[in-house]
Chains A and B, each alone.
Chain A
């Protein structure tokens, strides 16, 4: 298996004003799992778009050799025709259609436009068996979990006779069990001789499956590591990604904890849609000044729902309970009132709930506190520009100016814009929901530093995260949630991956 299936030589791609890729080289052997890593904005996704024909030949410089021939793809179907299939981070499935319909969408098993359903279902069943998905081919996409949807995407790729499978952050939104299953599947495919390229930020996963690792930084190739020649540590990869040694992934902080800022008592919430189902039960928690408090839990434990129901009742209904700030009850029944009470909620879903993507950095920064840059309802453009510039400098948002549209920023920089927006409301307590999801290592470190600085200024931080090392590395205290309840409260000394998991498991047994 020494065949080079794919070689990209000297790829350079320029967008107006930005050089996204600069002389990038990538060599992939047939039958290997090749990992592509790099910080957000380094150019990984752009490179894959060049490969798959999203950016047609002629819009970039350099050559693509596939099967020892120079290829000039002008559309995605050109590359798909040769077995290059890309699965994007945002899944491209139609929610209300069935698994079978999705798999053969645009590629229907039909004669003269009449679909052969029998064959469609039996072929689907074969494909689902291959990827190990136990769902009927008639199940609708919207009714199955995100992990299973990912498998449907892979089954769809298999239906197209894939030879080179490209996965862009396939496990970003999966829980650990689903991620493991997916990685096993990739290894299974490798045995059958299929080649894959996997883009991921989860270095432990890459270590598990990759044969080779190509590191990209600032639009250029840094190096390709061979995982069979040497034992490559996560720190070694990070060093290549950020161009320096990362001694500690979590910046140190000396906690100075003060009075209790936020206190939530006997918080009961019913489900937003299933209105007779109680979703959160007797939640009690508090956050003190200068303290970083974590909420750990599995997906669906009710962490985001807790945060959003407290923040202006933006989730759920029939909400009962008490919210106190500085020991006094406050009204958080609407979002403006919650903001006035000193709360800010930084969403886990920055693209859909955090940013107005087609607005620029400046407009996004001031959106939640527009009155502070306006008098009598008239915006003072210069004051607004100054505010946005200050936050851009302070949080080190990388952009060509404050007038750049949010949609054109990398994930880490988008997150910083959302943070700017909420910092500008000058909150006392910030609720950060998965603040580092989909963000590269360097930007993560910067976000942690911002969190530390906010805590040092005496603000209270409530941090929801699915990455346990992150919670353990940054929090002074951790609440553990499961099935809509708080099942444990652990001090920094008590908290460990084991103690958190044990709390979740034990509470599961009780019900």
Chain B
């Protein structure tokens, strides 16, 4: 093994490495550039603590749904119904909480299960009856929107109990207020400690992985890139964490979102399920002949999407403090766009969780920045559309050149 390695392995130059991984670094750089651009254009409003908090609250549900959508797209499908599922589950939660007075500790899991059932109802047709997902979920989009109107009887329901609202609008309390060195500026010391600890952990594990890879002869990215990437991420994270700590600290949804991102990153990169989804999206027939139950796998990616859409539905309902039949209209497009901006391939088999998350953030920052600048919905849509096209063109161009 060792002899073989020395003979065959060539260390790519930094330039080559950047070229072959341009998508990932490019995306990160694009996000930073867009943030700086709007920071400048809005006269410094973008990075204000209260605005960062708003950004998180406004986009958490898009990010959460993008996690499930990425799996669906990687599997070679699409889900157009998530906006309607958002409204439907939001409506169901409102009926249970407001009309029937059931405690949220029961309503939340029940709604997640119902979301899963909605996903299953659609996944069945895609996986076992081989109807194209585009058609099944287009039908689902209409059906669940219609059902939402029916169950809500065309009227919004609200307001929600306080404890349910805090799911979406609450903040993590400052457990470490007694250690706060600068009580004048920092109002939530706990969040700052957590973010610094997380950054330290990320660097520690990153370095440990590199060492392990060296030991086992697995390829590493060049150190300069590792260090550069870490520096950007750490810098941005600590800066944002500091800004948040001078306001109310971490919103609850940030924690939910963060945990889910970590979970789905792990599933896609390290688990057998994730690997099988990528293989299935890359070549379904080969995956099937390799003993992978492709039908079941497809079915569960839709169930998973339903659960995440239900979670998003409740977050949105809680945030708006009312469930309306019009909730979530057009969300499917934002979610799908986030995945494609993040480098997922429409033909399946390609895409990353980190890409989809950054894609969602790019969309979110653009929405937020343009709103602050006072650009109307007309320009916002126009710009978002062009950014989507540009991002995918960039992919295609790179692929053809390489």
User: Which A positions have Cβ atoms within 8 angstroms of B?
Assistant: 16-17, 311-312, 314, 334-336, 338-339, 345, 347, 352-359, 363, 367-368, 370-371, 374, 377-379, 381-382, 385-386, 389-390, 393, 400-401, 403, 421, 425
Q: With a CB–CB cut-off of 8 A, which chain A residues contact B276?
A: 370
| Contacts beyond the supplied A352-B283, A367-B287, A389-B217: 13 A-B pairs with Cβ under 8 Å | A314-B289, A334-B293, A336-B293, A339-B291, A345-B289, A354-B286, A358-B350, A359-B278, A367-B275, A370-B272, A378-B271, A382-B218, A393-B1
Q: Establish whether residues A16 and B16, one from each chain, have CB atoms under 8 Å apart when the complex forms.
A: yes
Known: A352-B283, A355-B283. A381 touches B289 (CB 8 A): no
Q: With a CB–CB cut-off of 8 A, which chain B residues contact A355?
A: 283, 286
Known: A355-B283, A393-B1. A368 touches B402 (CB 8 A): no
A359 to B292, CA, bound (A): 16
Known: A16-B402, A17-B10. A382 touches B216 (CB 8 A): yes
The residue of chain B having its C-beta at the shortest distance from the C-beta of A380 within the complex is B270
Q: Establish whether residues B216 and A385, one from each chain, have CB atoms under 8 Å apart when the complex forms.
A: yes
Number of interface residues of B (CB under 8 A): 36
A355 to B285, CA, bound (A): 9
Q: Establish whether residues B279 and A386, one from each chain, have CB atoms under 8 Å apart when the complex forms.
A: no
A457 to B143, CA, bound (A): 59
Q: Establish whether residues B349 and A400, one from each chain, have CB atoms under 8 Å apart when the complex forms.
A: no
- Top 10 A-B pairs, shortest CB-CB distance: A356-B282, A368-B290, A382-B216, A356-B283, A336-B291, A335-B291, A367-B290, A370-B272, A339-B291, A356-B279
Q: Establish whether residues B16 and A378, one from each chain, have CB atoms under 8 Å apart when the complex forms.
A: no
13 contacts between A and B (CB under 8 A): A16-B20, A311-B289, A335-B289, A345-B289, A356-B279, A357-B283, A359-B278, A363-B275, A370-B275, A389-B4, A393-B4, A401-B219, A403-B219
A354 to B286, CA, bound (A): 5
A123 to B219, CA, bound (A): 58
Q: Establish whether residues B289 and A421, one from each chain, have CB atoms under 8 Å apart when the complex forms.
A: no
Q: Establish whether residues A335 and B288, one from each chain, have CB atoms under 8 Å apart when the complex forms.
A: yes
Query: Which of B1, B12, B282, B288 has the most CB atoms of chain A within a 10 A radius of its CB?
Result: B282
Q: Establish whether residues A382 and B212, one from each chain, have CB atoms under 8 Å apart when the complex forms.
A: yes
Q: Establish whether residues A353 and B289, one from each chain, have CB atoms under 8 Å apart when the complex forms.
A: yes
Q: Establish whether residues B216 and A367, one from each chain, have CB atoms under 8 Å apart when the complex forms.
A: no
The residue of chain A having its C-beta at the shortest distance from the C-beta of B216 within the complex is A382
Q: With a CB–CB cut-off of 8 A, which chain B residues contact A363?
A: 275, 278-279
Is B255 an interface residue, CB under 8 A from the partner?
A: no
Q: With a CB–CB cut-off of 8 A, which chain B residues contact A400?
A: 8-10
A95 to B16, CA, bound (A): 40
User: Which B positions have Cβ atoms within 8 angstroms of A?
Assistant: 1, 4, 8-10, 12, 16, 19-20, 212, 216-219, 270-273, 275-276, 278-279, 282-283, 285-293, 349-350, 402
Q: With a CB–CB cut-off of 8 A, which chain A residues contact B12?
A: 17
Query: Which of B20, B217, B218 has the most CB atoms of chain A within a 10 A radius of its CB?
Result: B218
Which one of B19, B270, B282, B290 contacts A379 once the chains associate, using CB atoms below 8 Å? B270
Q: With a CB–CB cut-off of 8 A, which chain B residues contact A358?
A: 282, 349-350
Q: Establish whether residues A385 and B218, one from each chain, have CB atoms under 8 Å apart when the complex forms.
A: yes
Which one of B216, B285, B350 contacts A352 once the chains associate, using CB atoms below 8 Å? B285
Which one of B212, B219, B272, B282 contacts A357 once the chains associate, using CB atoms below 8 Å? B282
The residue of chain A having its C-beta at the shortest distance from the C-beta of B348 within the complex is A358
The residue of chain B having its C-beta at the shortest distance from the C-beta of A356 within the complex is B282
The residue of chain A having its C-beta at the shortest distance from the C-beta of B274 within the complex is A379
Which one of A368, A377, A381, A389 contacts B291 once the chains associate, using CB atoms below 8 Å? A368
Report the minimal beta-carbon distance from A403 to chain B, rounded to whole angstroms: 6
Q: Establish whether residues B285 and A353, one from each chain, have CB atoms under 8 Å apart when the complex forms.
A: yes
Report the minimal beta-carbon distance from B5 to chain A, rounded to whole angstroms: 8
The residue of chain A having its C-beta at the shortest distance from the C-beta of B350 within the complex is A358
Q: With a CB–CB cut-off of 8 A, which chain B residues contact A336?
A: 291, 293
The residue of chain A having its C-beta at the shortest distance from the C-beta of B3 within the complex is A393
Known: A335-B291, A400-B8. A377 touches B271 (CB 8 A): yes
Report the minimal beta-carbon distance from B294 to chain A, rounded to whole angstroms: 10
Report the minimal beta-carbon distance from A357 to chain B, rounded to whole angstroms: 7
Q: With a CB–CB cut-off of 8 A, which chain A residues contact B292?
A: 367
Q: With a CB–CB cut-off of 8 A, which chain B residues contact A334?
A: 293
Which one of A16, A352, A382, A386 contacts B286 once the chains associate, using CB atoms below 8 Å? A352
Report the minimal beta-carbon distance from A130 to chain B, rounded to whole angstroms: 36
Report the minimal beta-carbon distance from B277 to chain A, rounded to whole angstroms: 11
Q: With a CB–CB cut-off of 8 A, which chain B residues contact A368?
A: 290-291
Q: Establish whether residues A421 and B218, one from each chain, have CB atoms under 8 Å apart when the complex forms.
A: no
Report the minimal beta-carbon distance from B333 to chain A, rounded to whole angstroms: 26
Report the minimal beta-carbon distance from A179 to chain B, rounded to whole angstroms: 28
Q: With a CB–CB cut-off of 8 A, which chain B residues contact A339?
A: 291
A26 to B288, CA, bound (A): 44
Which one of B19, B219, B273, B349 contacts A356 once the chains associate, using CB atoms below 8 Å? B349
A374 to B273, CA, bound (A): 11
Q: With a CB–CB cut-off of 8 A, which chain A residues contact B293?
A: 334, 336
A347 to B290, CA, bound (A): 11
Q: Establish whether residues A421 and B290, one from each chain, have CB atoms under 8 Å apart when the complex forms.
A: yes
A228 to B284, CA, bound (A): 50
Report the minimal beta-carbon distance from A414 to chain B, rounded to whole angstroms: 12
A386 to B279, CA, bound (A): 20
Report the minimal beta-carbon distance from B310 to chain A, rounded to whole angstroms: 24
Which one of B10, B272, B286, B349 contacts A374 once the chains associate, using CB atoms below 8 Å? B272
A136 to B271, CA, bound (A): 54
Query: Which of A335, A338, A358, A390 has the most CB atoms of chain B within a 10 A radius of its CB?
Result: A358
Q: Establish whether residues A389 and B1, one from each chain, have CB atoms under 8 Å apart when the complex forms.
A: yes
A367 to B4, CA, bound (A): 24
A390 to B216, CA, bound (A): 13
Q: With a CB–CB cut-off of 8 A, which chain A residues contact B4?
A: 389, 393
Which one of B1, B10, B273, B289 contacts A347 once the chains associate, using CB atoms below 8 Å? B289
A16 to B12, CA, bound (A): 10
The residue of chain B having its C-beta at the shortest distance from the C-beta of A308 within the complex is B289
Q: Establish whether residues B216 and A386, one from each chain, have CB atoms under 8 Å apart when the complex forms.
A: yes
Q: With a CB–CB cut-off of 8 A, which chain A residues contact B219?
A: 401, 403
Q: Establish whether residues B8 and A356, one from each chain, have CB atoms under 8 Å apart when the complex forms.
A: no
Q: With a CB–CB cut-off of 8 A, which chain A residues contact B273?
A: 377
Report the minimal beta-carbon distance from A317 to chain B, rounded to whole angstroms: 15
Report the minimal beta-carbon distance from A315 to chain B, rounded to whole angstroms: 10
Known: A370-B276, A400-B10, A401-B9. A356 touches B286 (CB 8 A): yes
